[in-house]
Amino acid sequence: MATTAAAAAATLSAAATAKTGRKNHQRHHVLPARGRVGAAAVRCSAVSPVTPPSPAPPATPLRPWGPAEPRKGADILVEALERCGVSDVFAYPGGASMEIHQALTRSPVITNHLFRHEQGEAFAASGYARASGRVGVCVATSGPGATNLVSALADALLDSVPMVAITGQVPRRMIGTDAFQETPIVEVTRSITKHNYLVLDVEDIPRVIQEAFFLASSGRPGPVLVDIPKDIQQQMAVPVWDTLMNLPGYIARLPKPPATELLEQVLRLVGESRRPILYVGGGCSASGDELRRFVELTGIPVTTTLMGLGNFPSDDPLSLRMLGMHGTVYANYAVDKADLLLAFGVRFDDRVTGKIEAFASRAKIVHIDIDPAEIGKNKQPHVSICADVKLALQGLNALLDQSTTKTSSDFSAWHNELDQQKREFPLGYKTFGEEIPPQYAIQVLDELTKGEAIIATGVGQHQMWAAQYYTYKRPRQWLSSAGLGAMGFGLPAAAGASVANPGVTVVDIDGDGSFLMNIQELALIRIENLPVKVMVLNNQHLGMVVQWEDRFYKANRAHTYLGNPECESEIYPDFVTIAKGFNIPAVRVTKKSEVRAAIKKMLETPGPYLLDIIVPHQEHVLPMIPSGGAFKDMILDGDGRTVY
């Protein structure tokens, strides 16, 4: 059955992401393509920043049809994924998606990694994308399978992670009848995806998959959902692979290369400044080389957001490490005293800025970001450039290379001032006999891995300590749920990163609360023998909430103890025994003197490993700027052993 352009547009319109009225979400949404395919319709390879579609795979005994012979919609889908360069998917089967899984068994190219929960598979796809820069793909069935993807889609939207989520749906005739395992997943995910589709014609599959990958990876990256009814998966058709994408509105709004006169204006501001600072975020993850070159040419100190860790080496003399609520004193000092703030690939998040009026109040602000909705959303810049940060940095570097003076200012006095702050206010912690400071365990890990491991985390105190005390030397080395703050992220994300980086050591630094939320994924790392090391900083509490209870609620415990109240002296649950149930070697340490040897053994043991490190729940993450506070409100000492 031939599909008219009008029908194709109707299919898009039926599932198009609608305006939510919330600016923070509107910025991501893609308007539906309308009208006929015309001059603005393009092939994926013509404009996509990712690898052009691969040629058709050869026929195999499991896939015996020729190019002009019909095959199921599910097989067309899998072939479309292959043509977009997909080699790994994270899929959990169910009734409405089993046709896709049957088709995956016929693929000579794609490997499915069978996580044990849809949330786990989706976080794995996110970890895969974060660690590689490629689009992560997850597949789930309809109903509860699809809704289990929701947290990971919201996480990917907030952290700008390129993902394509494919869901099975009940047959078209049953949509809207409250059929078994029917949920309107397009409606459910409308405000937490960059775009989504409900495929109502089997002949649309090649075009929709091309568009989904292009949308996910171009502009500001984000998640795209494709919902495919089961009867579409079963329908026979001959695919047309040279179908053009139909995204004229989206393509027209993609940012253009930065204007030279704007870049020259930025450099003039740099030349006039005496206390400049680079504030670098996740938007620079593809621009590490250009950023380092820019710093080399200008001598401007760098601080990064939580998402920006690794985009500039944290052991560089000009690195001030992380800023914000739990950032270093010297990073926050630098922003507070700066006369020029170069904000590259950032969104002025509340955990960075605190009291927005007091943030960088002495500075002129230059904001470069690929998303126009972020410009001026939280903090009004003096100069704004809506462009790819990589192109902007390349342009700035080219202008600096052409300049006869190279660096127009001497920032040595500023460097000396910040070095003095580093000496006066280094990151540090107290020790109490053989109790294990969690910060110490991370320092030992950093030393033994030489700062080369990929680090994933859950969310909480352990996440902040991992950000503070591990040395990040390159982009895509740090994986964490920053915007959404989703507990349970660490283990599946580490596994996804391991799939994307075969043979590389990946360490999940986790808390006992976060780890328990997706502990079932120990099965996957054992079955695939992935070199994922799980280092649990186990304080038997919901640590970050406990810290806030200590500071602001007179230490009143409101359901934050995660152990067994009837026997608080025992460690509960017993992660070592649970790990052994998954046939994963595991050890528990309770003394500081045992930590180094235990971490060394963990790293030297092939395959997966779990190390349960018992740490005191009284420890606080410091420094700390209270929510809504400013640099002057920073807390530098104290812990749960103190009464406030």
Give the catalytic positions in this structure: 118, 180-181, 230, 544
Query: What residue has token string 């394509």?
Result: 164
Strand ranges (E), 335-436: 340-344, 364-369, 383-386
C-alpha span between 85 and 87 (Å, rounded):
6
Burial 353-371 (b: 16+ CB within 10 A, else e): bbbeeebbeebbbbbbbbb
What residues contact 151, with CB distance under 8 A and at least 6 apart? Answer: 119, 122, 484, 486
Listed residue (288, 330, 298) closest to 417, CA to CA: 330
**In this structure, are residues 324 and 342 in contact, taking their beta carbons and an 8 Å threshold?**
no
40-46, Cβ contacts within 8 angstroms, sequence gap of 24 or more: 40/246, 40/247, 40/248, 40/251, 40/252, 41/244, 41/245, 41/246, 41/247, 41/248, 42/244, 42/245, 42/247, 42/251, 43/210, 43/242, 43/244, 43/245, 44/84, 44/210, 44/211, 44/213, 44/214, 44/245
Cα 313 from chain centroid (whole Å): 19
What residues contact 180, with CB distance under 8 A and at least 6 apart? Answer: 143, 170
C-alpha span between 240 and 3 (Å, rounded):
11
**In this structure, are residues 407 and 297 in contact, taking their beta carbons and an 8 Å threshold?**
yes
Q: Backbone dihedral region of 554: left (phi > 0), alpha (psi from -120 to 50 degrees) or beta?
A: left
